[in-house]
A and B are shown apart, each in its own frame.
Chain A
Amino acid sequence: MTPFPYAEEQRSLIDAAVVESGLSVGDVWLRYFSLSGDVDEYEVEAYLTGIMPLPPLECDLLALAVNELIDDLPPRKRAPFSDDLARARAGSGDTTQQ
């Protein structure tokens, strides 16, 4: 297979995104498969570790799958402002002072 431009860079960034978000190869493959990905789980794992190249379209489907999974992750906790808590307590009728 003839490699396309930046194929290796795309691969290593996809892999980094998977690792950083703590996704398992199984989860990634399942989503990629439901997006009509054609390559099996072992090959996806081989691709992510850099052992085997994939055609650009499959790489993009994989990227899409990873991004959708990342979007589905629970968002990080947000910090409340000083009046947020007062407003929330007033709204819920909870009178306990913290």
Chain B
Amino acid sequence: MDPSPLSSELGTTLGRIRGLVLTQETAQHAVDLLAQVAQDTTPNASGAGVSLIHGGHRVSVGATDDLVRSADDLQYTLGEGPCLAAWSTREAVMLEDTSSDQRFPAWSSAASAEGVRSCFSVPLLRGRDAIGAMKVYSAVPAAFDEADKTRLRSLSVAASALLGHVQTSATSTRISSELRASLRSRDLVGMAKGILMQREGLTEAEALADLTARARSSGVPFRQLTADIVNGFGASEEKETR
């Protein structure tokens, strides 16, 4: 989470520069919609879900009902399950019967207790990255036939293409950290200007001209140069990473 509220206008500008849409709601809307489509195209499914996964963590989840959502939640609390497996192995996972399948013992017994008996999960792939998983659940064992599997596989291709364009919270974190770095850098320039104005009796424009001249003649990056002036003035103990 951001420690400080950022100017939304600036955030939007940066998002536009990066060619991204800056709303988490967009991702949420997309996964909800796709979960619904997955269920509609799979008549044997009692529920369907779509999860966006980043680094083993689920960043967005869309589900057609509470059973799907809680069965999905279980995977992340237990750290195992068909969707996580589909995501990490990049292969579709068919689970015919949760009461007998031994691959995910903890998840299977918990899911079976909640009423989920079979599950088919396909990975959402974008290039070399697995971005999540799409799955259908049923209350009866071995509910899904080859036609269901084929349809869900084709749907997953279209879903991946769509979701790949929706930003995940990881990108949003990256953008806000870029934004913070850029605002911090501007701040340093402002302080350095103020210090020169006070110390050498310059106008604001003269102070800025003086700073650019120093950067040119010394070859020191501007951010480093201004940070040095600010630190030399004893304003802070900032450690610059440039």
Contact = CB atoms under 8 A, between A and B. Distances in A.
The answer to whether A and B interact is yes
Interface of A: 24, 26-27, 29-30, 33-36, 40-41, 57, 60-61, 64, 68, 71
Interface of B: 13-14, 17-18, 178, 181-183, 185-186, 189-190, 193, 205, 208-209, 212, 215-216, 221-223
B181 A34 contact: yes
Contacts of B185: 34-35
Nearest to B216: A64
25 contacts: A24-B17, A26-B17, A26-B18, A27-B17, A33-B186, A34-B185, A34-B186, A34-B189, A34-B223, A35-B189, A35-B222, A35-B223, A36-B189, A36-B190, A36-B193, A41-B13, A57-B208, A57-B209, A57-B212, A61-B208, A64-B212, A64-B216, A64-B222, A68-B221, A71-B221
B222 A68 contact: yes
B221 to A, nearest CB: 6
A40 B16 CA distance: 13
A29 B13 CA distance: 11
Nearest to A37: B186
A24 B18 CA distance: 10
Given A26-B17, A29-B17, A68-B221, A34 B215 contact: no
